[in-house]
A and B are shown apart, each in its own frame.
Chain A
Amino acid sequence: MADPANGAAALAVSALTKNFSGLTAVSAMSFELARNEVLGLIGPNGSGKTTVINLVSGALKPSAGAIRLYGEEIGGAAPAAIARMGVARTFQIVRMLPSMSVLENVMAGGVFGHSRHWGDDLRDRARALVARVGLAVAGETPVSALTYIDQKRVELARALIADPKVLLLDEWLAGLNPTELKTGIALIEALRGEGRTILVVEHVMDAIRSLCDRCVVMSSGAMIAEGAPAEVLADAEVIRAYLGDADA
């Protein structure tokens, strides 16, 4: 499914490369994320998934290649500019604004980003999202009083309040216990039901199978497979990347 306006993919990454003084963390990656699609980016630890997220969100500048958001080049732009153009993200290790309340933490995403609000409008939207992500605490609660999954919910709400064109979830489900995991998967499934366009980096295979339309598998910075989760996870090369050679 392409954007009706110009036929471009929501996110198109082509020949994306990132070198850290000699070490190639991401090597000539190319993939597309269609509108309303949930794409899984998976691979063993250290395969460069978070680096891809950092390149797309602008935290890092690509060494080569292009990143296009609905046809518009965003590769190498400042992270604030990319956020304003419509890319929102969560972080692998949750990042709270410790001196602010739950509501303020959510509001922080909705003032300067892709969709901008202020005053009562902002507050109402933040309240609605606090409820939307399943937070059952008062908006005035300090974030330090929250459990880990609730902090993750705050982060998700902060990303959603900007009404992003593309949402990047960096291991949003990591560190949750089995019960929380079910809740978390249900929540992202609901976002998918809303028609959000999401790129998820994830280790949890159950989540990949139930959430993703397609998967891209990375190993040592390069793409080794792409396709529907079931077939990709059965691919011999993918299994080798995760578990090593059969004779090893």
Chain B
Amino acid sequence: MSAREWRNLGLAAAALGVVALLPLFDTGYWLSVGVSIAMYTVLATSWALFSGPTHYISLATAAFYGIGMYIVGVGIGVLPFAVLVLAAAVAGAVLSAIIGLATLRLSGVYFVIFTLGLAELVRQLVAWVQATLGASSGLYVLTGITEPMIYWQLLALAGLVYLVGWRIGRSRLGFALRIIGNDEVVAVHSGINTARAKVVLFVISGTVASITGAILAPRWTFIEPTLAFGAMLSFQVVIMALLGGAHRLWGPLVGVIPFTILSDVISAKFPNQTTLLLGAAFLLIVYLIPNGVVGVLETLARTRARENG
């Protein structure tokens, strides 16, 4: 590793250390915003690991997230929390591997629709199982896990996601994904097993989403299918990643922070028009800044370099 990379790694670790101090100053509103930001950072960054280079838009985040959450909900009285998080990771990995193998041969819009349908399918399945078993419509998650603990767990997961993403970016796998995103025909004729590369990244992003759901389960004392598998979550993750810029590792973070605060304000001030306003925001982002804030910044930097050069 070069000196510059060590410096960047040090700076990133220091920044993570600083934001980890948040619960010492506030355990109310701002901590709750912090948890949301940490959660969306993890989800959007891991989403972009797969969708950024390949341009496959996955709307399955909620499916994996919900499964992680439900595993904790079902097992919390029986097994220790750490074991359940691990189980959620395994379940997320297995499910995303199956889905990846089955669907990544689909292209473009077919893949998008399938992933969207998947989250809905799992939600209906869970609701049906609960109704058949005669249980209530949801599950109680009663633990001693406090909000600062959730926050720190999410930060640790975010750090892990960044490390994995950084490592992939420097690896043959990362190079293969960039080639696939540019031209899949060139990729296969260059000897790249495109299906395997895509499945590996899809599994990473599905696993992370599932762990995120598991970590967040104790935040809600009562979970039900609409909360755990809400399609809105999948869309928000996509919007945030695109707003920031999905082609850089740190891009989604740039989108997550303003959008989390914005959607918080919108849902507080306009509770009945939330979906409408978020939809409008989505359209504007895709239309006006297709490469995200990072893309805009990079264009500005290039223009300036040309003017000075």
Contacts and interface: CB of A to CB of B under 8 A. Distances in A.
Interface string A105-136: 00111011110001000000000000000000
Interface stretch (B93-101, B156-164, B173-181, B249-257): B173-181
Interface stretch (B134-142, B185-193, B220-228, B281-289): B185-193
Contact of B182 (A57, A97, A111, A118): A97
Contacts of B193: 78, 80, 112
Contact of A98 (B182, B185, B190): B182
Contacts of B175: 107-108, 111
A12 B233 CA distance: 55
Interface residues of A, number: 27
B191 A59 contact: no
B191 A84 contact: yes
A99 B178 contact: yes
Given A97-B179, A98-B182, A99-B182, A113 B188 contact: no
Nearest to A158: B190
A80 B191 contact: yes
B194 interface: yes
Interface in B189-229: 189-194
A153 B57 CA distance: 34
B172 interface: yes
B172 A95 contact: no
Nearest to A88: B189
B183 interface: yes
A112 B189 contact: no
A5 B172 CA distance: 33
Given A95-B183, A95-B185, A95-B186, A100 B192 contact: no
- Residue in B178, B181, B188, B190 with the greatest tally of chain A CB atoms within 10 Å: B190
B129 to A, nearest CB: 40
Contact of A112 (B182, B185, B191): B191
Contacts of B187: 108
A88 B188 CA distance: 11
A214 interface: no
A51 to B, nearest CB: 16
A83 B189 contact: yes
25 contacts: A57-B189, A58-B189, A78-B188, A79-B189, A80-B192, A80-B193, A80-B194, A83-B188, A83-B189, A84-B191, A95-B183, A95-B186, A96-B183, A97-B178, A99-B178, A99-B182, A100-B179, A109-B190, A111-B175, A111-B176, A111-B190, A111-B191, A112-B176, A112-B191, A162-B190
Given A107-B175, A162-B191, 12 more contacts: A57-B189, A78-B188, A80-B193, A80-B194, A95-B186, A97-B179, A98-B182, A108-B179, A111-B176, A112-B190, A114-B191, A158-B186
Q: Shortest 9 CB-CB distances between A and B: which pairs?
A: A97-B182, A113-B191, A83-B191, A112-B191, A79-B188, A84-B191, A112-B192, A80-B188, A108-B179
Interface of B: 172, 175-176, 178-179, 181-183, 185-194
Interface of A: 57-59, 78-80, 83-84, 88-89, 91, 95-100, 107-109, 111-114, 118, 158, 162
